[in-house]
């Protein structure tokens, strides 16, 4: 393993005399940090800076790089496919964020009651989050299958609407986004439920007692005590959800049997566009300009979160 | 009083009902998966559903091992997950110790650099990272995935936050007793940070096990693939072999299910205390 030698072996007494205490302390400290720092610098920091530089270049990976200034970024402004991908990402975010939050909060409030089997229910609800995406996407893909899938067959049996008129889910480009959103909510809500459960532990119980004395019913208690008290948690949850939604791509590949070949103009998201521009069109500079847009979006959300967290804490 | 009790009972009934409904929503897809994995492909979609197949076809589970190198995929994934988790654990807890307990020049600056990159999405620099790895000759090797996953800033941050809650006096006392810094890390920090360690180890392992995009970009040779992209390859190649696909999916889920069920307490504590990123 990567145990730094200088840490395992104490500095020899002779060296102790020569080096000042500060220098010795620094050597020890840096040998603790070095294994991680080297890996981190080479595989995260350098590529990050490289990405920024690349966004000003034109490069296909083989021919010499060419400096093009802001050309990649001005191309973004008029690129319809890119706009489409950005819109799809925002649409996905707008669907996933509120939907997941409502489900997660509902689950958390329910499983915060002192009822039998709540620990088991918590465990069960959390499991889809850690389950393999490819495996669970395969199941949902079958369940949503348009003509023979159990979901449409059940809808048909319940409502009497003929199968042909029921939504074709992932197979229909107008329903595909909605289908992916449903799947995403199902997969991730257990995770946000756990965060909400932690938030609920922090709600001041005296407020409920006071509300009861004032004759508030459960609904009023929820609106006037639980929700306001959970505001910081809700804020935190929404920020993580937005950031994760901007980064989405894997869910879209795995929800379609044909992978991303099957993605249409209604399901191509930002990261797909970056991936495709870089690894298929080999337009590394342009892909990096798109990546910068993703970076700035996430950075913006993070700054908002950072600022408001200070406000919430203070 | 009586009325209130009745109301309480009926609201409790409602909660039970909703709990059952929600549990069903979560569990039914998994049961469907298991049941379909024991059927012939032509029987997977019969309606009404046959939850327990009349003649369970266990042969699916032996067939998948010959259709795709599933054993190889599982071995690759297990190997990568173990190596990444060990590296992540050692390097982050070492670095975290220095950031939390040692004084040295450049500490705040370096730590800020770590923090700043936590917020940067990997997808924003995956392209140059790939170009670099290719330059190093690391594409189509497991080394690329190890380098990609093993040095996260998040691990350092998580461990450092926890180490800070361990009183400095403990370290001081140990130093006076003649313990080296490495000794302090080993004998004082490690035993006192079990919750943080379990969170880090579990989530690194599961994230590496389930990672999809990284292996998809770096590992194109079949014999190098992990279970996730191997399974994905199987689904695209044999898209109508429903029974076999479900059997392979069950196999891909089992290791994480076992880890999850045996360590669920730590999973939930970990999320609740730090909001681990996905």
- Find the closest chain A residue to B89 by CA distance: A36
Mean pLDDT of chain A: 88
The CA distance from A192 to the nearest CA of chain B, in Å, is 9
At residue A263, the pLDDT reads: 83
Q: Predicted confidence band at A61 (pLDDT cuts at 50, 70, 90)?
A: confident
With 60 as the cut, is the pLDDT of residue A6 above it? no
On whether the CB atoms of residues B49 and A150 are closer than 8 A, the answer is: yes
The length of chain A in residues reads: 314
Highest CATH level, class, for A71-313: mainly alpha
In this prediction the ipTM stands at 0.89
pLDDT at A219 over 90: no
Taking each helix axis from N to C terminus, what angle separates A46-54 and B122-135, rounded to the nearest 10 degrees?
100
A79-123 pLDDT, tens per residue? 999 999 999 999 999 999 999 999 999 999 988 888 888 888 888
CA A274, CA B146: separation in Å to the nearest integer? 23
Would you state the pLDDT for residue B163?
A: 92
What is the Cα–Cα distance from B216 to B191, expressed in whole angstroms? 38
CB pairs under 8 A between A and B: 282
pLDDT of residue A119: 87
Nearest by CB to A194, which of B25, B128, B272? B272
Ranges of each domain in chain B? 2-52, 61-274
Q: Which CATH class is domain B61-274?
A: mainly alpha
Structure tokens at A13: 């007494």
Q: Which of A36, A45, A302 sits opposite B156 (nearest CB)?
A: A36
Instruction: List helix spans (H) across chain A.
Output: 5-8, 13-18, 21-40, 46-54, 71-78, 80-110, 118-130, 133-143, 150-159, 173-201, 205-213, 218-221, 227-229, 231-246, 250-254, 270-275, 284-313
Residues of chain B with pLDDT under 70: 1-8, 274-278
Burial class (CB in 10 A: 0-12, 13-18, 19+), B230: buried
pLDDT in the model for residue A4 = 45
Name the residue of chain A whose CA is nearest to B249's CA. A135
Q: Classify burial at A296, counting beta carbons within 10 Å of its beta carbon; exposed 0-12, middle 13-18, buried 19 or more.
A: exposed
A25, A250, A257 member nearest B213 (Cβ): A250
Window 122-151 of B: residues touching A by CB (8 A cutoff) are 122-132, 147-148, 150-151
Whether A77 contacts A293, CB under 8 Å = no
pLDDT given for residue A312 in this prediction: 62
pLDDT for the residue A1: 39
DSSP H or E run through B58:
none
Higher pLDDT, A4 or B208: B208
Tokens for B117, please give them: 């990159």
What six digits make up the tokens of B197? 């360690």
pLDDT for residue B2: 56
HSE value, Cβ hemisphere, 13 Å, CA-based, for A273: 28
- Chain B contact present for A215, CB below 8 A: no
- Residues written for chain B: 278
CB-CB contact of B245 with B39 (8 Å): no
DSSP code, position A225: I
Query: Which ranges constitute the DSSP H helices of chain B?
Result: 2-36, 59-67, 70-101, 107-118, 122-135, 142-149, 153-164, 168-176, 181-184, 190-192, 194-210, 213-218, 227-237, 242-274
Q: Range(s) for CATH 1.10.3720.10 in chain A?
A: 71-313
Please tell me the distance in Å from A202's CA to the nearest CA on chain B. 12
Residues of A in contact with B49 (CB under 8 A): 150
pLDDT at A102: 94
């Amino acid at each position: 393993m990567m145990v730094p030698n200088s840490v395992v072996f104490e500095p020899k007494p002779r060296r102790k005399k020569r080096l000042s205490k500060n220098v010795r302390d620094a050597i020890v400290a840096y040998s603790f940090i070095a294994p991680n720092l080297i890996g981190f610098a080479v595989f995260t920091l350098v590529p990050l800076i490289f990405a920024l530089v690349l966004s000003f270049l034109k490069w296909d990976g083989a021919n010499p790089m060419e400096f093009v200034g802001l050309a990649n970024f001005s191309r973004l402004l008029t690129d319809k496919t890119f706009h489409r991908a950005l819109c799809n990402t925002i649409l996905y975010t707008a669907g996933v964020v509120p939907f997941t939050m409502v489900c997660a909060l509902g689950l958390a409030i329910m499983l915060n009651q002192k009822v039998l089997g709540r620990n088991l229910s918590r465990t069960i609800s959390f499991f889809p989050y850690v389950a393999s995406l490819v495996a669970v996407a395969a199941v949902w893909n079958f369940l949503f299958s348009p003509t023979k899938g159990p979901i449409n067959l059940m809808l048909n049996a319940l409502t009497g609407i003929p199968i042909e008129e029921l939504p074709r889910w992932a197979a229909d480009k107008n329903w595909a986004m909605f289908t992916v959103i449903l799947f995403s909510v199902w997969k991730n809500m257990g995770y946000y439920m756990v965060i909400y459960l932690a938030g609920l532990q922090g709600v001041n119980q005296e407020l409920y007692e006071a509300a009861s004395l004032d004759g508030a019913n459960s609904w009023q208690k929820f609106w006037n005590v639980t929700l306001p008290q959970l505001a910081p948690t809700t804020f935190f949850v929404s920020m993580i959800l937005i950031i994760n939604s901007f980064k989405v791509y894997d869910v879209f590949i795995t929800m379609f049997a044909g992978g991303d070949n099957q993605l249409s103009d209604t399901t191509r998201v930002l990261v797909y566009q970056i991936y495709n521009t870089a690894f298929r069109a080999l337009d590394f500079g342009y892909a990096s300009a798109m990546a910068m847009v993703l970076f700035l979006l996430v950075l913006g959300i993070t700054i908002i979160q950072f600022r408001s967290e200070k406000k919430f804490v203070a | 009083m009586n009325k209130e009790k009745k109301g309480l009972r009926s609201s409790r009934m409602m909660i039970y009902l909703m709990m059952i409904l929600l549990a069903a929503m979560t569990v039914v897809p998994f049961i469907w998966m298991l049941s379909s994995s024991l059927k012939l492909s032509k029987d997977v979609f019969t309606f009404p559903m046959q939850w327990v197949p009349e003649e369970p076809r266990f042969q699916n589970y032996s067939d998948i091992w010959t259709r795709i190198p599933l054993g190889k995929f599982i071995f690759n994934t297990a190997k990568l997950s173990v190596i990444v988790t060990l590296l992540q654990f050692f390097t982050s807890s070492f670095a975290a110790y220095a950031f939390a307990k040692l004084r040295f020049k450049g500490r705040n600056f370096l730590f800020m650099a770590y923090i700043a990159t936590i917020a940067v999405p990997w997808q924003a620099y995956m392209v140059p990272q790939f170009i670099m790895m290719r330059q190093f000759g690391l594409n189509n090797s497991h080394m690329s995935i190890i380098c990609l996953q093993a040095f996260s800033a998040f691990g350092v941050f998580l461990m450092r936050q926890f180490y800070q809650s361990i009183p400095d006096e403990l370290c001081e006392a140990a130093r006076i007793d003649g313990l080296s810094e490495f000794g302090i890390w080993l004998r004082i920090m490690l035993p006192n940070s079990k919750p943080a360690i379990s969170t880090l180890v579990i989530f690194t392992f599961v994230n590496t096990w389930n990672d999809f995009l990284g292996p998809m970009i770096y590992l194109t040779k079949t014999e190098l693939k992990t279970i996730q992209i191997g399974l994905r390859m199987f689904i695209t190649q044999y898209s109508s072999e429903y029974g076999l696909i479900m059997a392979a999916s069950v196999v891909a889920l089992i290791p994480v299910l076992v880890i999850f069920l045996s360590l669920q307490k730590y999973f939930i504590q970990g999320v609740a205390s730090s909001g681990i990123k996905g």
